[in-house]
């Protein structure tokens, strides 16, 4: 029961956030220098034509009424049309989003098991050579820039060895796995160390906790104590960091998507920014914000499911 | 028959300046059915000895000697693993941190049963329920699926006791099991341990810094100091004829045996008055936490007023309100007849100079990177009352006043003992020549012998500086010796107030009677032991 009320309260918190997001994404286009109508019709359009279009688009109405119209449209899934592709923005996003989502899922599937394995190994052998090696590799992984790694991988495994394609998204599930392997590895090599360091730190801290001594006093063997007590108590900070990282990856996948020519949200965003495709930028801003809100929500609900103290 | 025999036990830890021997050549036996008290101050090796008996020392510790239990030497890991949790169990000082916050109470109690006896989860939980009943947890069935944070401190300790009893051990080690608890709860837990000892013939070793607690339930006692056993024997014999100087010091430092330090003077004018003071905070949901609720109280010029109460009684919140750290939500605070609520700027600074505070934790309330001379001098030049050079000179005088040798002036808090740090805290508070000193649990983190010294110091300073002291404490025995008047708080309300002599001799409120009865006192406990 408590958990359900917690979910309810947590969902209520989203409402003001959503209003804020809609305001920002709405004002984004309003505050752009220059007149979007002029941009569409070109500099040589007559004043009458501009006025007609302004009226047609409702730009002559008050800001509030425009905002309400905008929110109404967004709720119905209408994000406007791309100026460049002459397609509904929603259709574009629906086409590009799954690829980025697939890439992020792929990255997580690679990163999470490796992170847990490395962090547990390092923590259990704290100070010994496996710990030292893992810590050294972590620092290395975090310091190498993703774009550089991506370029090197593309050259080595893509062009010289020819093991993996260096561009595109591929056909079918296996095709996706094959095509996105290098982009996913490049991202994982940076993400895994960040998470590993975080989880190892938490594990080492929890291993000294008083309740661990109490478990030993009960006569429980070390393995059981680790699995049942130390690990669940350690994952919470890392889980929250993971949430932040996923939200970051949605927007931050740009680099690998460009290097490996993956037609995902990042690529769409770059194209839209360069082509001043305002409604696509607006739509993407909205989607990025909503996904971030969603990821945070999921992480919070997971945290609450693990830790009864959050529910209160 | 001995349940456990310790022979020439020594424990060594690696330290920065070579190995440190925490326990030196300690030998003793625990006979079946007895409760052995191990008493000593911080660093005496009492907890290390206790933890060694269950193999709970950190890996870097090296163990010497033998721990014999039914012919097995428990210093061998295999023998220890076989006995741990089954034959020997343990409870700890801080029950809150010794329970896994993510697991239900029922599962935590059931865990050793599943592991040691191979019970199914359902069987183990049924047994756990019986155990929770046995340690007198009310509504045990309802508590099975509760998490530790939903229970009070005393409840958590009962859960730990239930867990320890799960596999019907022969020996229970208790490491300061009541130190983190309120006095009334402490009395209940000690009574429970006594019952378990009688009904189950459970042998116990009780480690404590408090002779009063030891006297309540122990048959025999070992006094430890600096890793060695100084003296051992029946408590009564020990108290009546201590053989060792340290034992004598420990006994004379017991709060109940301290000389009377109160200062009966004619009723003077009130210096600070609380009028219908309330501090309410928003709590969970729509609830309001009434931390202080409608308290009227006056502090007279030159007296020492004790504010006593258990955790959550609002005693510290009152103090924080007086020095303006928390704003009252109702009522008024008067200083020399003028309201000090909502003072700002110059007026607030001037008021705070008059009322200074000393805090509970001697280390945490000092800046670890600042020399103690600077620490004491800082308020003087920060308040613009002296140049930095003058302030530094004055700091040395203040160090003399609190009996700190001047040779310590350049040291940092980390290089001082707890008692010395608390003297620094007092000197810093006195730097601004305040009229009122608020002492918030200033001795509760200190050893009894140090506590006795600090109380003596405060008594001297009171007379010399004509200080008015507000002494916040949970320790009724100290209050009885040290304070002129006492105000008893419970859940934010003033239960009773009066001169210490009156209140102790004839407590009006039932709660005050409970508090006084629950306070462990060496002599009363000895008088009760047959």
In this complex, do A214 and B98 lie within 8 Å of one another by their Cβ atoms? yes
Of A287, A306, A291, A304, nearest to A25 by C-alpha is A287
CATH 3.40.50.1000 given to domain B2-87+170-254: no
Of the listed ranges B264-278, B415-429, B465-479, the one predicted with least confidence:
B264-278
Residue A34: what pLDDT?
Answer: 65
With 70 as the cut, is the pLDDT of residue A197 above it?
yes
Residue B266: what pLDDT?
Answer: 64
Question: Is A214 part of the contact surface with chain B (CB cutoff 8 Å)?
Answer: yes
Q: Which of B56, B98, B105 should one mutate to test binding to chain A, selecting the residue with the greatest count of A CBs within 10 A?
A: B98
Question: Is A220 part of the contact surface with chain B (CB cutoff 8 Å)?
Answer: yes
Helix (H, G, I), strand (E, B) or coil at A45: coil
Decide if B148 contacts B96 (C-beta within 8 A).
yes
Residue B530: what pLDDT?
Answer: 38
Give the Cα separation of A136 and A131 in Å (integer). Answer: 9
Q: pLDDT tens digit string along B313-326?
A: 888 889 889 988 88
Q: pLDDT tens digit string along A241-262?
A: 999 999 888 877 788 888 777 8
Q: How many CB pairs under 8 A join A and B?
A: 77
Give the Cα separation of B304 and A212 in Å (integer). Answer: 44
- Catalogue all structural domains in chain A, each as residue range(s) with its CATH number: 101-276 (1.10.3720.10)
Helical residues (DSSP H) of B135-244, grouped into ranges: 140-143, 153-165, 183-200, 211-217, 235-240
In this complex, do A220 and B101 lie within 8 Å of one another by their Cβ atoms? no
Question: Is B172 part of the contact surface with chain A (CB cutoff 8 Å)?
Answer: no
Of the listed ranges A125-134, A151-160, B195-204, B507-516, the one predicted with least confidence:
A151-160
Residue B43: what pLDDT?
Answer: 81
SS in 3 state form for A111-161? Answer: HHHHHHHHHHHHHHCCCCHHHHHHHHHHHHHHHCCHHHHHHHHHHHHHHHC
Q: pLDDT tens digit string along A275-311?
A: 878 888 888 888 888 888 999 999 999 998 888 888 7
Matching residue, tokens 């000389």: B259
Residue B181: what pLDDT?
Answer: 82
Q: Which of residues 266-285 of B touch A (CB under 8 A)?
A: 284
Give me the residue from B54, B97, B149 closest to A217, CB to CB.
B54
Q: What stretch of H or E contains B324? A: none
With 80 as the cut, is the pLDDT of residue B328 above it?
yes
Residues 6 or more apart whose Cβ sits within 8 Å of residue B422 = B358, B362, B442, B443, B446, B450, B454
With 80 as the cut, is the pLDDT of residue B84 above it?
yes
Q: How many helices (H) and strands (E) does chain A have?
A: 15, 0
Give the Cα separation of B464 and B90 in Å (integer). Answer: 48
Domain B270-528: give its CATH code.
Answer: 3.40.50.300
- Does the interface ipTM go beyond 0.90? no
Which structure tokens are listed for B140?
């045990």
pLDDT average, residue stretch A182-195 = 89
Q: Within a 10 A sphere around the Cβ of A88, how many other Cβ atoms?
A: 17
Q: What stretch of H or E contains B294? A: strand B288-300
Matching residue, tokens 């505070």: B357
In whole angstroms, how far apart are CA A148 and each of A190, B26, B419? 12, 63, 58
pLDDT average, residue stretch B458-473 = 90
Which structure tokens are listed for A115?
């992170």
**Chain-wide mean pLDDT for chain A?**
85
Decide if B440 contacts B357 (C-beta within 8 A).
yes
At residue B497 the predicted structure's pLDDT band, cuts being 50, 70 and 90, is very high
At residue A312 the predicted structure's pLDDT band, cuts being 50, 70 and 90, is low
Across-strand partners of B171? B88, B203
With 80 as the cut, is the pLDDT of residue A5 above it?
yes
Which structure tokens are listed for B288?
């309001």
Residue B264: what pLDDT?
Answer: 66
Give me the residue from A209, A216, A308 closest to B147, CB to CB.
A308
Helix (H, G, I), strand (E, B) or coil at B333: strand
At what angle are helices A278-306 and A265-274 packed, to 10 degrees? 150
Could you give the strand order of the β-sheet that contains B338-339, starting from the edge strand earlier in sequence?
A: B288-300, B270-282, B330-335, B338-339
Which structure tokens are listed for B370?
């600042």
Give the Cα separation of B302 and B212 in Å (integer). Answer: 31
pLDDT average, residue stretch B213-236 = 91
Chain B residue numbers with beta carbons less than 8 Å from the beta carbon of A312 are 284
Give the Cα separation of B239 and A182 in Å (integer). Answer: 78
Give the Cα separation of A272 and A285 in Å (integer). Answer: 11
Tell me the whole-structure pTM to 2 decimals: 0.82
Give the Cα separation of B410 and B408 in Å (integer). Answer: 6
**Chain-wide mean pLDDT for chain B?**
89
Across-strand partners of B229? B224
Which structure tokens are listed for A206?
């929890």
Question: Smallest CA–CA separation between A269 and chain B, in Å?
Answer: 43
With 90 as the cut, is the pLDDT of residue B222 above it?
yes
Residues 6 or more apart whose Cβ sits within 8 Å of residue A119 = A195, A196, A199, A200, A203, A238
């Amino acid at each position: 029961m408590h958990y359900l009320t917690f979910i309810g309260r947590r969902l209520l918190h989203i409402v003001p956030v959503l209003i804020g997001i809609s305001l920002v994404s709405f004002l984004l286009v309003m505050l752009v220098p220059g007149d979007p109508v002029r941009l569409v019709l070109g500099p040589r359009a007559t004043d009458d034509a501009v006025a007609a279009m302004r009226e047609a688009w409702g730009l002559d109405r008050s800001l509030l009424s425009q905002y309400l119209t905008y929110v109404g449209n967004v709720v119905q899934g209408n994000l406007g049309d791309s100026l460049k592709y002459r397609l509904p923005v929603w259709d574009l996003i629906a086409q590009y989003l799954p690829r980025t989502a697939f890439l992020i899922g792929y990255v997580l599937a690679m990163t999470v098991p490796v992170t847990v394995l490395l962090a547990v190994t390092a923590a259990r052998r704290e100070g010994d050579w496996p710990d030292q090696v893992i810590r050294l590799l972590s620092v290395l992984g975090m310091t190498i820039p993703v774009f550089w790694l991506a370029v090197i991988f593309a050259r080595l495994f893509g062009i010289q060895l020819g093991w993996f394609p260096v561009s595109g998204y591929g056909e079918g599930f296996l095709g996706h796995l094959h095509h996105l392997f290098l982009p996913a590895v490049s991202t994982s090599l940076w993400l895994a160390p960040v998470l590993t360091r975080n989880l190892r730190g938490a594990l080492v801290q929890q291993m000294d906790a008083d309740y661990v001594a109490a478990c030993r006093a009960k006569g429980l063997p070390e393995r059981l104590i680790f699995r049942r007590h130390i690990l669940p108590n350690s994952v919470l900070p890392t889980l929250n960091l993971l949430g932040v990282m996923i939200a970051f990856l949605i927007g931050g996948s740009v680099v690998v998507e460009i290097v490996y020519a993956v037609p995902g949200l990042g690529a769409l965003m770059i194209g839209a920014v360069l082509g001043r495709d305002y409604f696509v930028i607006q739509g993407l801003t909205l989607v990025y914000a909503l996904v971030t809100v969603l990821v945070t929500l999921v992480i919070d609900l997971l945290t609450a499911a693990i830790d009864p103290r959050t529910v209160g | 028959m001995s349940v456990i025999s310790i022979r020439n036990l020594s424990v060594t830890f690696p330290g920065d300046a070579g190995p440190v021997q925490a326990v030196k050549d300690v030998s003793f036996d625990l006979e079946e059915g007895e409760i052995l008290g191990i008493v000593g101050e911080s660093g005496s090796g009492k907890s290390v000895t206790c933890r060694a008996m269950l193999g709970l020392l950190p890996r870097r510790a090296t163990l010497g000697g033998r721990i014999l239990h039914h012919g097995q030497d428990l210093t061998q890991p295999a023998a220890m693993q076989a006995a741990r949790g089954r034959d020997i169990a343990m409870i700890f000082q801080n029950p809150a941190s010794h329970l896994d916050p993510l697991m239900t109470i029922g599962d935590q109690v059931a865990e050793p049963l599943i592991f040691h006896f191979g019970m199914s989860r359902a069987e183990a939980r049924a047994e756990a329920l019986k155990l929770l009943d046995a340690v007198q947890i009310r509504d045990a069935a309802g508590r099975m699926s509760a998490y530790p944070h939903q229970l009070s401190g005393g409840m958590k300790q009962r859960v730990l006791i239930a867990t320890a009893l799960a596999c019907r051990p022969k020996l229970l080690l208790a490491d300061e099991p009541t130190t983190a608890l309120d006095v009334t709860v402490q009395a209940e837990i000690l009574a429970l341990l006594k019952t378990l000892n009688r009904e189950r013939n459970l042998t116990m070793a009780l480690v404590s810094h408090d002779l009063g607690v030891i006297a309540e339930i122990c048959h025999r006692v070992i006094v430890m100091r600096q890793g060695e056993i100084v003296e051992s024997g029946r408590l009564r014999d020990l108290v009546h004829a201590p053989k060792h100087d340290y034992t004598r010091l420990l006994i004379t430092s017991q709060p109940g045996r301290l000389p009377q330090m109160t200062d009966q003077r004619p009723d003077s004018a009130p210096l600070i008055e609380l009028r219908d003071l309330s501090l309410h905070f928003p709590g969970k949901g729509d609830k309001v936490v009434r931390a202080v609720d409608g308290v009227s109280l006056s502090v007279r010029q030159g007296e020492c007023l004790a504010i006593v109460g258990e955790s959550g009684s609002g005693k510290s919140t009152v103090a924080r309100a007086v020095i303006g750290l928390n704003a009252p939500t109702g009522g008024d605070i008067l200083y020399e007849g003028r309201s000090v609520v909502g003072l700002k700027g110059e007026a607030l600074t001037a008021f705070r100079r008059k009322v200074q505070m000393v805090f509970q934790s001697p280390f945490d309330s000092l800046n670890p990177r600042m020399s103690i001379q600077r620490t004491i001098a800082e308020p003087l030049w920060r308040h613009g009352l002296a140049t930095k050079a003058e302030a530094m000179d004055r700091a040395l005088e203040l160090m003399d006043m609190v009996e700190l040798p001047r040779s310590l002036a350049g040291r940092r808090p980390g290089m001082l003992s707890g008692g010395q740090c608390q003297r620094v805290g007092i000197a810093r508070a006195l730097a601004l020549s305040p009229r009122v000193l608020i002492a918030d649990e200033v001795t509760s983190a200190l050893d009894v012998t140090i506590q006795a010294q600090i109380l003596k110091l405060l008594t001297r300073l009171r007379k010399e500086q004509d200080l008015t002291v507000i002494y916040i404490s949970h320790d009724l025995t100290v209050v009885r010796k040290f304070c002129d008047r006492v105000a008893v708080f419970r859940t934010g309300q003033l239960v009773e107030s009066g001169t210490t002599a009156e209140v102790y001799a004839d407590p009006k409120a039932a709660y005050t009677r409970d508090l006084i009865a629950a306070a462990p006192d060496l002599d009363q406990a000895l008088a009760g032991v047959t």
